[in-house]
Amino acid sequence: MSEQASVLVAEGEELQETVGVSGTGILPSHAVRELVRAKAIQGVEDIALDQVQPASIDLRLGNTAYRMRASFLPGSRATVEDKIRDFGMHAIDISDGAVLEVGCIYIVPLLEYLALPARVWGLANPKSSTGRIDVLTRLITDYAEVFDKVKEGYHGRLYAEIAPRTFSVVVRKGSKLSQLRLRRGSDTMSAAMHHRLQEEFRLVDRDLDKKGPFKGIPLTVDLHGEATEGLLGFRARQHADLLDVGKVGFYDPLDYWEPIFASAHRHLILNPGDFYILASREAVNVPPQYAAEMVAYDTLIGEFRVHYAGFFDPGFGYAESGGAGSRAVLEVRSHEVPFLVEEN
């Protein structure tokens, strides 16, 4: 598990500079709003003010979900509509709410569409509320060869692939399951820059191994639970009731989650196919002028997926804003085989 940081475009830059040929970085909220005003980001319905987050924009589901025979990428010669026509099974009107079932794959055209300037591109991720109920949500564009990436200067529609893994969910037009982070230029920082930021801002509350094999800053799982009376996290219950994504704070968590407590052995064995909510041992600080992401999957450390929702907003847990760092929430699923998680 590793965190990567990227600098934000400076607050004072105008739109012309923000989307021009100079400078690199993630576009913050003021630049995203400028793109909306310039109609580089548009919607079938007007973009709402609350969609724009500190370093991303929330994406809304449209009226219709298409049940698909299989997941797909359209490839360089096809649009998403081409694939829906070839491999769609039936359409579902979700205007007033409909159930998306576990084990099924759906494509939903989003209300937003793009006409991005040159050198501006994007990466999408599920919102944290989506990842934590184990709903695999990926962005697809026309002619895409990878998920969750919007190419530089893209003009066209956006689509969400939705595949509930543990809980069947109720969604409707306007539901916000994913978010788009827009960038200009390069998206990565060097290892040396990460270490300089660690020295200046204390990104995590431990020292870094400068000779480690990871890109970015590795995070580890808390197996002590000292701050939570031994509670390490939760494992999702099988065959639970529906979850309506629009009913925030409505459900009893214990109807859907089984608590996991620390053991004397200080290890945890992940069952194949089970879904876990865990926490990082490290407290994370993201300086206000930076944004960060967590890598979703790293084959170097095991056959499991970590963290659907990989975006950290600027200022997350930032100590100089009054915080002492915040733990990262990890959404974890082991694939194929049991996997041992232990200290170090």
Q: Over the stretch 36-86, which tens digit does the pLDDT of each residue have?
A: 999 999 999 999 999 999 999 999 999 999 999 999 999 999 999 999 999
> DSSP per residue over 31-66, as a string?
HHHHHHHTTSEEESSPPPGGGEETTEEEEEB-SEEE
Residue 195 has a CB neighbour count (10 Å cut-off) of: 14
Q: What whole-number distance in Å separates Cα of residue 264 and Cα of residue 5?
A: 35
Name the residue type at position 220. Answer: T
CA dist 58 and 175 (Å) reads: 10
Q: Does the pLDDT at position 15 exceed 80?
A: no
> What pTM value is reported for the model?
0.89
Residue 270 · residue 339 · CB < 8 Å: yes
- Give the model's confidence band at 216: pLDDT under 50 very low, under 70 low, under 90 confident, else very high: confident
Average pLDDT value for residue range 195-223 = 79
pLDDT per position as a tens digit, 95-138? 999 999 999 999 999 999 999 999 999 999 999 999 999 999 99
CA angle at residue 237 from 231 to 241, to 5 degrees? 130
**Does position 304 have pLDDT exceeding 70, yes or no?**
no
Question: Is the confidence at residue 265, as pLDDT, over 90?
Answer: no
Q: How confident is the model over 252-263, as a mean pLDDT?
A: 96
Average pLDDT in the chain: 87
Mean pLDDT comparison of 112-116, 297-301, 328-332, highest-scoring range: 112-116
pLDDT at site 11: 45
Q: What are phi and psi of 292, to 5 degrees?
A: -135, 160
Counting Cα atoms < 13 Å in the Cβ hemisphere of 66 gives: 22
* Domains located in the chain, CATH noted: 2-184 (2.70.40.10), 191-342 (2.70.40.10)
Contacts of 250 (CB under 8 A, 6+ apart): 244
Distance CA 288, CA 300 (A): 31
Could you tell me the maximum CA-CA distance found in the chain, to the nearest angstrom? 58
pLDDT of residue 18: 46
CB 276 within 8 A of CB 338: no
